[in-house]
Amino acid sequence: MALLATTNAAALIRRSRSWNTLFLWLYFGSYMLSALHAQQNPDSTEKKFAIAIHGGAGGDPSKWSSEYQSQRRTGLQAALDHGVALLEKRADALDVVEAVVRILEDDATFNAGRGCVLNENGEHELDASIMDGRNLQCGAVAAVKRAKNPVSLARLVMTQTKHVLLIGSGADQFGEATGVEQAEPDYFLTEQRKASWQKWKLGDKDALLHAPSTHKGEDEQLYLGTVGCVVLDVHGNLAAATSTGGLMGKRWGRVGDSPIVGAGNYADNETCAISGTGIGEEFIRRAVASDIAARMRYGHNTLAEAVTGTLTTMPAESGGVIAVDARGNVVMEFNTPGMSRATADSLGNRGVWLGRND
């Protein structure tokens, strides 16, 4: 082979009428060789998997106690490690986002599943959704009270009904009928959340809602701790899942963006997977997740351009998103002082952050 190449090169030099022709041949040869290499190693410059998770936007992490900060970091790290372990075993993106969100739902630090915030009546109403980027299949539940892991109930809506979104007692009955794990109200409502609700009830609610989050402590946040996960798996598929207790003191029956496909959650292999967190009404008004995907699809934006473009249309301190595209690019952006988040990929990049830089 080497001999053949040398002979060919010598013949080429002899045949070249000028140095220019020789250089042209050399350039063409090296171009063909690199094209052949790229074809044989399609993943050589691409990430094989990527995962991002969030534990809610809002609040100023520098105002939180170090104990609360470390609870959040530990929770995110545990969920991230589990997701990475599954992805290394070639798990499907859809299974990974469900498994990761279940872990965060079980962790009372976050506002999803156990430890969710309470509505104006002091009760819990949970929203969740999940989406498969392979085929745009999706499932969601809103204002449910009984499923221990609302994200798994959302997945059953996707796989066992011909619908996309079930709400309230209808969704809870469906959960019981399908055998999804049930829990009593006391499981969801922790002492800490009950105490913040009491504070909310006695406080000046309007001031709390409109005061900059930098003025509020960890137990005064109206929306803090929604969880979400977006994944690109080794098969090249995207998925997204989001789960929340919504906003503290929300009107009963209120549904946020988390279970609204295209607002707080979205996945499409052709563009990206997105999970949002923040004031749900602002996400629904702007169809935030769908807007980001549309900027990529029709405007040919990169993921980073699309996320920035959409977030600039949002009011200050209204939230943030995590997103991953089909090449494994991860973007985690927010217009609040902090967004608890973590990411990892198959190239070994890893990180957990609460505020802008730490």
Residues 110-129 that bind ligand ASP (CB under 6 A): 111
Residue with Cβ nearer ligand ASP (54 or 146):
54
Helix axes 150-160, 93-106, angle to 10 degrees: 150
Question: How many CB atoms lie under 10 A from the CB of residue 81?
Answer: 15
Q: Counting Cβ atoms within 10 Å, is residue 17 exposed (0-12), middle (13-18) or buried (19+)?
A: exposed
Which tokens in the block code for residue 239?
Answer: 């998925």
Q: Which stretch binds ligand ASP (CB under 6 A): 27-35, 68-76, 251-259, 309-317?
A: 251-259
Does the annotation count 226 as an active-site position? Answer: yes
Site size toward ligand ASP (CB under 6 A) is 15
Closest approach of Cβ 127 to ligand ASP, in Å? 6
Q: Which of 257, 291, 317, 345 binds ligand ASP (CB under 6 A)?
A: 257
119/152 with CB nearer ligand ASP? 119
Q: Select 143 or 272, whichever has its Cβ closest to ligand ASP.
A: 143
- Least Å distance, CB 348 to ligand ASP, is 30
Stated length of the chain: 358
Question: Is 338 a binder of ligand ASP (CB under 6 A)?
Answer: no
Q: Which window, 71-79, 83-91, 254-262, 290-298, contacts ligand ASP (CB under 6 A)?
A: 254-262
Other CB atoms within 10 A of residue 158 CB: 19
- Using CB under 6 A, pick the residue from 50, 53, 56, 295 that binds ligand ASP: 56
Cα-Cα end-to-end distance for the chain: 54
Q: Catalytic one among 21, 161, 178, 226?
A: 226
User: Smaller CB distance to ligand ASP: residue 49 or 188?
Assistant: 188
From candidates 152, 196, 258, 343, binder to ligand ASP by CB under 6 A:
258
Ramachandran quadrant class, 325 (left: phi over 0; alpha: psi -120 to 50; beta: rest): beta
Answer yes or no whether residue 59 interacts with ligand ASP by CB under 6 A: no
Q: According to the 3-state scheme, what is the secondary structure of 82-129?
A: HHHHHHHCCCCHHHHHHHHHHHHHHCCCCCCCCCCCCCCCCCCCEEEE
**Min dist. Cβ of residue 338 to ligand ASP (A):** 12
Q: Which is nearer to ligand ASP, 56 or 139 (CB)?
A: 56
**Cβ proximity to ligand ASP, 244 vs 310, nearer residue:** 244
Residue span 259-298 as binding mask against ligand ASP, x where in contact by CB under 6 A, dash where not: -----x------------xxxx------------------
Q: Which helix (H) or strand (E) holds 56?
A: strand 50-57
- Residues 77-81: contacts with CB under 8 Å, at least 24 apart: 77/342, 77/352, 78/103, 78/107, 79/53, 79/103, 79/104, 79/107, 79/229, 79/342, 80/51, 80/53, 80/342, 80/343, 80/344, 80/350, 80/352
Of 21-29, 62-70, 209-217, 255-263, which segment contacts ligand ASP by CB under 6 A? 255-263
* HEC secondary structure over 144-208: ECCECCHHHHHHHHHHHCCCCEEEHHHHHHHHHHHCCCECCHHHHCCHHHHHHHHHHHHCCHHHH
Q: Which residues contact 68 (CB under 8 A, 6 or more apart)?
A: 109, 218
Cα 295 to the center of its chain, rounded Å: 18
Report the site for ligand ASP in 202-231 (rule: CB under 6 A).
Answer: 223, 226
Our CB check for ligand ASP shows the closer of 75 and 246 to be 246
Restricting to residues 229-248, name those near ligand ASP by CB under 6 A. 244, 246-247
- Least separation, in Å, of the C-beta of 255 and ligand ASP? 8
Active site residues: 226
Binding site for ligand ASP (CB under 6 A): 56, 111, 223, 226, 244, 246-247, 256-258, 264, 277-280
